[in-house]
Each structure stands twice: as structure tokens, then as C-alpha cells.
Chains A and B, each alone.
Chain A
């Protein structure tokens, strides 16, 4: 009963708050990269599903990768996922605090290790998937 009367004042908070400043917009874009991350994972799942449906079905699916809509979607997904990668590696050193002896390893160096690891992993995945 009395709960309502006692509640503190809440300043009205518009749902469009994130459009007010550039860092807020960038934050929202970063959060929305997760939609493209999940979307591409669902694409990968469909890829594996098509594989279970036999060579013809799978072949049609691979041919459809050449369609303009597929290429366009891939380009959009790539832009968002790259934004995810960059913001993720820049954020990780703030959470992953590493020390060498007493000294904290500089954040830039930790981020640099992740970027270097990313390049190595990407090259390995590419060579492996493309069978070179």
C-alpha cells in the first residue's frame, strides 16, 4: 500500500536517450553488432544443415552465396562484426588486468596481443578452410 507514496521521484527518461550524443550512438551500434554476430552464426548453422541434406541441396546453397543479396548481407555483417572485434579487443584489457611482477602490463600492449592473435587465428582459419 504505502509503497507507492514512498517511492522516490524518477526523472522521465526518454527511450531515445541514445540518440542524444555520439558516444551513446556508438555504444548502441556496438550493442547491435551482436545481432549480426548471431545472424551469421545462424547462417553457419543453415550451412551445416544444408550439408546434411545432400550434395544437390548443399550445392544450391553454395551457388546462392553468389547472389547480390547474399553478398550485400555479408558486407553489412562484416562491417558490424569488425566493429565488434575492434571494440572487443579495446575493451578486454580494461577487464583482463595482467601484471608482470609488480607492474601492470599496459592496456595497449594487452590489446596489441589480442590483435596479433586475431591475425594469426584468421590466417590459420583461412588456410584451413580454403585448404591451402
Chain B
């Protein structure tokens, strides 16, 4: 049987899907509803508080890094097959490169940004 990279991409897909399913809804509610409508006290996203939390804790930084980057691989894997399903099978290799490459690029950019904090 030919060697395949599929298990790696599938693992990242499912790990990213789980992170997204568990954590993104509550974050969207916070940044999209609770904070803009002023439903929480004391401006919880103020600069001092968030900057301090991220710059003083490697654990918080690592968790946020994972929350941002793993779902990118979830997108890459799913969107790749979606594009193939709607008729782009002839350019499936290019699609794979663009999708996984995009997720990898996003991860590198995220690493650079996180190292600056």
C-alpha cells in the first residue's frame, strides 16, 4: 500500500474540529454579544488585563495558540474535500497545497505574533 499522509491530516482535522466545537461558540458569544452589548461588568477585554494574562503565562499563551491554529487544519481538510465535491477534482492537488499550506502559513504567522507578546 502506498504511503499516505492522510492519517496526519485527518488527526489534525478531528482535533481541530473538537477544539472548535468545544470552545469557539462561547468565545463568539463573548466577543460578539456580551462585550459589545455591555452585558458584562468592568470591560473584561481591557488591554492591561489581557496583555498581562498573555505575557505572564506560557500556559494561557499555549492554549490560545492551540485554539487559534488547530481549527485552521480542521478547515483545510474539510474545505479541501468540499471543493473537490463541487467539481474541482481536476485540480485536487493544487487545492490540497493551498488548503493545508494556508493552515501551515496561519500557524507560522500565529507563532510569530505570539512570540512578540
Task: Give the interface of A toward B (CB within 8 A).
Answer: 13, 15, 18, 28, 31-32, 34-35, 37-38, 40-45, 47-49, 51-52, 55, 58-59, 62, 65-66, 70-71, 73-75, 77-78, 81-82, 84-85, 88-89, 92, 95, 117-118, 121-122, 125-126, 129-131
**Total number of residue pairs linking A and B with CB closer than 8 Å:** 152
Nearest B residue to A62, CB-CB: B45
Say yes or no: is B9 at the interface (Cβ < 8 Å to chain A).
no
Task: Give the interface of B toward A (CB within 8 A).
Answer: 14, 16-18, 20-36, 40, 42, 44-51, 54, 64, 67-69, 71-72, 74-75, 78-79, 81-82, 85-87, 106, 109-110, 113-114, 116-117
Shortest B33–chain A CB gap in Å is 7
Task: List 19 other contacts, CB 8 Å, given A38-B74, A42-B106, A65-B36.
Answer: A13-B87, A32-B82, A34-B75, A37-B16, A41-B106, A43-B31, A44-B27, A45-B106, A48-B117, A55-B47, A55-B51, A70-B32, A73-B32, A74-B32, A74-B33, A81-B24, A88-B20, A130-B30, A131-B49
